[in-house]
Amino acid sequence: MNENLFTPFTTPTLLELPVVVPIILFPTLLLPTSKYLINNRLITIQQKLVQLILKQMMVIHNTKGQTWSLMLMSLIIFIASTNFLGLLPYSFTATTQLSMNLAMAIPLWAGTVITGLRFKTKSSLAHFLPQGTPTPLIPALVIIETISLFIQPMALAVRLTANITAGHLLMHLIGSATLALLTISLLATSLTLVLLVMLTILEMAVALIQAYVFTLLVSLYLHDNT
């Protein structure tokens, strides 16, 4: 029981070859592109969704911030599609690995901070001290603000990892509990089954929301710094 609880999170291997990279690249197969203005039904649906998300996310930024639209749109589509594919049975979700989330979070956060320091040095350094603090508190507050700045990428990565991993684990546990209760008591089985169905719906929402939150926070850090 203990060993097979975490085997969905191990590196998938095919004949002892790690097959992680094709699995990470698999969502690209599901997102077709087109060079025409008017497309078939599937591509039009997808393009309309992307435009909806684009308008929602990038309207708060100024011109300089909107140069990041391609990056942020790719980010949210990648995270959302990877999370959704992880809800299929037996699949491996790349966003459960902390290494990958850190690799996404740290460069993006560092990019926003360095942009802010390069172009608006005074104003981005001024973020370290909130307005109207009493004078004796200033040293302590600067230290606290610095720590809170450096914790941002860690929080981004760990939030995504923990949410998706916890969701998958919970579904696994409640699923095996339902199976085990089948022979003991039918009422308990049906109750756990209802719980499982609701959890699956929650997981679908979480998949989307986590992608949204990740991208939103990166865009907020960007907004502060442009």
Partner 1 sequence: MPCVLLGDCSVGIFSHSSVSVPVKDKKLLEVKLGELPSWILMRDFSPSGILGAFQRGYYRYYNKYINVRKGSISGITMVLACYVLFNYCISYKHLKHERLRKYH
Output the smallest distance, CB 90 to partner 1, in A: 4
Count residues binding partner 1 (CB under 8 A): 21
Nearest CB to partner 1, comparing residues 14 and 187: 14
Indicate whether 21 belongs to the interface with partner 1 (CB under 8 A): no
The tokens of 13 are what? 């291997």
Per-residue buried b or exposed e for 126-140, using 16+ beta carbons within 10 Å of the residue's own CB:
eeeeeeeeeeeeeee
Output the smallest distance, CB 49 to partner 1, in A: 14
Give the per-residue SS3 of 106-139. Answer: HHHHHHHHHHHHHHCHHHHHHHHCCCCCCHHHHH
Indicate whether 131 belongs to the interface with partner 1 (CB under 8 A): no
CA distance 160 to 102: 10
The region of 39-47, 54-62, 103-111, 143-151 touching partner 1 under the rule CB under 8 A is 39-47
CA distance 191 to 175: 12
Residue choice 25, 28, 30, 194 for contact with partner 1 (CB under 8 A): 30
Output the smallest distance, CB 158 to partner 1, in A: 26
Indicate whether 14 belongs to the interface with partner 1 (CB under 8 A): yes
CB atoms within 10 A of CB 215: 23
Look at residues 169, 196, 2 and name the one whose alpha carbon lies nearest to residue 86.
169
Indicate whether 32 belongs to the interface with partner 1 (CB under 8 A): yes
The region of 28-36, 49-57, 152-160, 191-199 touching partner 1 under the rule CB under 8 A is 28-36
Look at residues 193, 209, 11, 188 and name the one whose alpha carbon lies nearest to residue 100.
11
Nearest CB to partner 1, comparing residues 89 and 139: 89
Residues in 72-101 at the binding interface with partner 1, rule: CB under 8 A: 85, 88-92
Residue choice 33, 35, 41, 131 for contact with partner 1 (CB under 8 A): 41
Q: What is the largest CA-CA distance in the chain?
A: 69
